[in-house]
Amino acid sequence: MKVYFDNAATTPLSEDVWKAMEPFYLEHFGNPSSTHSFGRKTKNAIESARREIASAMNVLPGQIIFTGSGTEGNNTILSSAVQKGVNHIITSPIEHHAVLHTLDFLSIKEGIKISKVELDEDGNVNLSSLEQLLKTNSEDKKLVSLMHVNNEIGNILPISEVVELCHKFNTLFHSDTVQSIGTLPLDLKSTPIDFATCSAHKFHGPKGVGFMYVKDSSLLESFIHGGSQERGHRAGTENVAGIIGMSRALKSATENLNKNYDHLTLIRNYFIEKISQIDSNIKVIGNQPPKVSPKILNLCIPSALVDDMLLFNLDLRGIAASGGSACSSGSNQGSHVINEIKNLRNCLAIRFSFSKYNTIEEVDYVIAQIKEILKK
């Protein structure tokens, strides 16, 4: 049996998404910047997709800018903010490296100040710490960058409270929403953040395409130069099929949000119930529902029960899981997220992440394999 439980890294492409994309590879192949009928066809398709995505997020079409990935969106937004005068960025130590590494670069190259909020024992942002940082150095032009759902432990940021704090101190707010869009409800009009990023392959869309939400386009500088695409904000011929696929995937995710949420919750809860029967010392890392994404389950398995070969042994048995962020695969430094959570000692952290395609039978198989591995 093959089981894919690494959906926080990427999700399989939905068949209906592929069917929506296929004509734009084989039939409607015109360059959207061309003025003839072939180009107009694809240009119209892109703008239709933009309107559909904007509608799903309850924003204006002009506030959606297509990108090649969530990483590109994060880089663009943070770099633009600095070019527009931001000199102090507040973040957390458990953000995705697409944010943390960008901030390291901007700190060295541009000399901006980087501050990091404190975390509680479960890896949540301490809002009092955030408020204190916002109060200090009132002459600074600040931006807060905090992800909506942590990609390793699934904790959900109380985004409305963060927005309220940012507004109180006249501070811009950017959120990496790559792990939340398509899984959790997010209305960008009623939760008025300034910037958000999205990647299609996290909700059964294609890889290599995403979008930025930018509330006020005057706050954005071009990150890629050489063309007037995306109203001059992102040069380069658009990934037409990818954009169409992303729009279709988001439409499906939005229409089935409650159904999929309930299914993911069922899978996650069942997994926790069964794994706890193996050994009560196996603990869930991070929050409890409803303050955690049902898509992500990170477990702390005591070192006395298992060695570092667990992922390898699971892979041999056809099971895909993760020891941390997939973007860090090959690193020997361990997960920076897990390392920041103080109450985790002498355990192996392993992330299982689920999709609408996963089943209870798959959980039973994985639990049986883990039980067998831990016995040896």
Which amino acids are annotated catalytic? 327
Residue 336, number of CB atoms within 10 A of its CB: 18
User: Which residue, among 108, 99, 179, has the nearest Cα to 143 in the 3D structure?
Assistant: 99
Gap between the Cα atoms of 23 and 13, Å rounded: 16
Phi, psi (degrees; rounded to nearest 5) at 41: -60, -50
Please, which residues bridge with residue 198 across strands?
A: 211
User: Which residue, among 196, 223, 220, 221, has the nearest Cα to 210 in the 3D structure?
Assistant: 196
Distance of CA 120 to the CA centre of its chain: 21
Gap between the Cα atoms of 56 and 53, Å rounded: 5
Distance of CA 247 to the CA centre of its chain: 17
Sign of CA dihedral 278, 284, 289, 293: negative
Diameter of the chain measured on Cα atoms? 67
Structure tokens at 114: 């980087």
Residue 150: partners with Cβ closer than 8 Å, 6 or more residues away: 94, 123, 179, 286, 296, 337
Residue 327, number of CB atoms within 10 A of its CB: 14
